[in-house]
Structure 1
Amino acid sequence: DFVLERFNKAIAEKLVCSVSILHEDYVGTLTRCLNNLERNQDDDDRSTSASEALQE
């Protein structure tokens, strides 16, 4: 039982690490896409930018 418990814990830690990395990659890609879209868009001072809204 002890070996199985340690094995499960090791797998869980690796899974959490992988999900965290995927989350960071996804958010980074989304942020870069939004920044590029906003740079290509006409300036409109009245509206909140999508990247600012994402950070809130």
Structure 2
Amino acid sequence: MARSLERARESVGNRAMSFDIEIVCAPHESDQRLVAYTTEPDPPTAHVLRILASWNAAHRR
């Protein structure tokens, strides 16, 4: 199983967000990948994620 770790910084409006990205590839299925985005529970990123989640929740009602 191959793994790749990366770090990304993105902005939503004027708020910065940072994520760790882990990509895992199965040894016999090279065209299939599992991508996991994680973040530290720091206030700026956590705050923006709560805002984005509320937009999605409002859309589903």
TM > 0.5 fold call: no
Q: Would you tell me which structure has more helix in proportion to its own residues?
A: 1
TM-score, reference length from structure 2: 0.32
TM-score, reference length from structure 1: 0.35
